[in-house]
Each structure stands twice: as structure tokens, then as C-alpha cells.
């Protein structure tokens, strides 16, 4: 089947989509957007987190056909005009990236937390927001630093 999705502001069509295929597969294998990562395929790891109509979801658990006509923002869509988004920049500067596999999912989820929090989120809220994103390298401390840094920059520019 054909699926039409607005991805990062651009209307895209994917053809020959299998009916049981996930949005993640369509993004990575049919639309050439490998930012969202494929790891657990069961919603456990958060590596495939993307925005669906403004809400962060695991792209592996959205059937491709469910995304028909909807807005998807992937990690590729956060940077604009060659400039990294604040959250991306903070991850780099805080050293929150080691192997990098979990990073795109963490960045989208952290981006959502920061967008929806009026000030700098409390540590407990950061931990809760990122509870569905697994990182096996960093021990999370640098990731927490990055989120605090990004939130601080956003709210106290």
C-alpha cells in the first residue's frame, strides 16, 4: 500500500509498504531517514522515538498505515539551516554521547520534555521523562547534565 506522511514538514509518499510494517521501517528503509534507530522493536528502548502529531512515540509501535496523513518529526527535523537544535548542542557539549545509538531517541524525548516544561525540570522529572530511553554506555549522568543545560539555555538565554 501507499502511505503519505508529512515528515519534518515535507509531504512524503512511501510505496509498496507492507500492511504490518512499522512507521520506523518506513522512515529508515523507504524514506531514507536513519536517525530514529531500530533496536528492540517492542517499545522498550526508546531509540526510535519520534514526534507523531507533536507527541513523542516509539515509531516501532506505530503501524505505517496509522501515520497516513499525519505529521512526523524525526531527529533529522530538529536542526534548522545547518544549526543544531539547543538539545542537540547540549548533548554534544555535555559529553552525553558515547556510542550514540540511543542519542536520537533521547534527544527527541528530551526535546519534548523541555518544550512542555515551563522552567528547568527537576531531576526526578527528567528521570521520569527519560525512563523509556535506554542507554548502555553513559550511566545517564551526562545525559541529565545535557538536559539541564538545554533547559537552562532555553529559559535563561
Partner 1 sequence: MDFLRPLTWEQALAYKAERPEATPIQGGTDVMVEINLDKGRPAALIDLNPVAELTLWSTAGPEIRVGSGVTYTRLIAELGALLPGLAQASRTVGSPQIRNRGTVAGNLGAASPAGDAHPPLLASGAIVEAESVRGTRMIPIAEFYTGVKRHALEPDELIRAVRIPAATGPQYFSKIGTRNAMVIAVCSFAVALHPGERRVGTGIGSAAPTPRHAAEAEEFVAAELDWEGRSPLDPGVARRFGELVAGAAAPIDDVRGRADYRLHSLAVMARRTLGWAWNDYAGRGTA
DSSP letter assigned to residue 84: P
**Residue 35 or residue 46: which is nearer to partner 1 going by CB?**
46
Restricting to residues 95-134, name those near partner 1 by CB under 8 A.
Answer: 109, 128-129, 131-133
Residues 6+ apart with CB under 8 A from 72: 5, 6, 7, 8, 23, 27, 50, 51, 52, 59
Restricting to residues 133-152, name those near partner 1 by CB under 8 A.
Answer: 133
CB of 60 to partner 1, least distance (A): 6
Among 10, 20, 81, 157, binds partner 1 (CB under 8 A): 20
Task: Transcribe 26-38 into DSSP letters.
Answer: IIIIIS----S--
Provide the residue count of the chain.
Answer: 157
Instruction: Assess contact for 60 and 17: CB atoms under 8 A.
Output: no
Among 57, 97, 143, 150, binds partner 1 (CB under 8 A): 57
User: Distance from CA of residue 118 to its chain's centroid?
Assistant: 20
CB of 157 to partner 1, least distance (A): 26
Which residues contact partner 1 by CB under 8 A?
1, 18-20, 22, 41-44, 46, 49, 55-58, 60-63, 65-66, 68, 109, 128-129, 131-133
Amino acid at each position: 500500500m501507499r502511505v503519505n506522511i508529512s515528515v519534518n514538514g515535507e509531504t512524503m509518499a512511501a510505496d509498496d509498504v507492507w500492511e504490518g510494517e512499522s512507521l520506523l521501517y518506513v522512515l529508515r528503509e523507504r524514506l531514507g531517514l536513519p536517525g530514529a534507530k531500530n533496536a528492540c522493536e517492542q517499545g522498550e528502548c526508546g531509540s526510535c522515538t519520534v514526534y507523531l502529531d507533536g507527541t513523542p512515540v516509539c515509531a516501532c509501535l506505530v503501524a505505517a498505515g496509522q501515520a497516513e496523513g499525519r505529521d512526523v518529526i524525526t531527529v533529522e527535523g530538529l536542526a534548522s539551516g545547518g544549526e543544531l537544535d539547543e538539545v542537540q548542542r547540549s548533548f554534544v557539549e555535555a559529553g552525553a554521547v558515547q556510542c550514540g545509538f540511543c542519542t536520537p531517541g533521547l534527544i527527541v524525548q528530551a526535546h519534548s520534555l523541555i518544550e512542555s516544561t515551563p522552567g528547568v525540570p527537576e531531576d526526578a522529572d527528567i528521570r521520569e521523562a527519560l525512563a523509556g530511553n535506554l542507554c548502555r554506555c553513559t550511566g545517564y549522568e551526562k545525559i541529565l547534565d545535557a538536559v539541564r543545560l538545554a533547559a537552562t539555555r532555553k529559559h535563561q538565554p
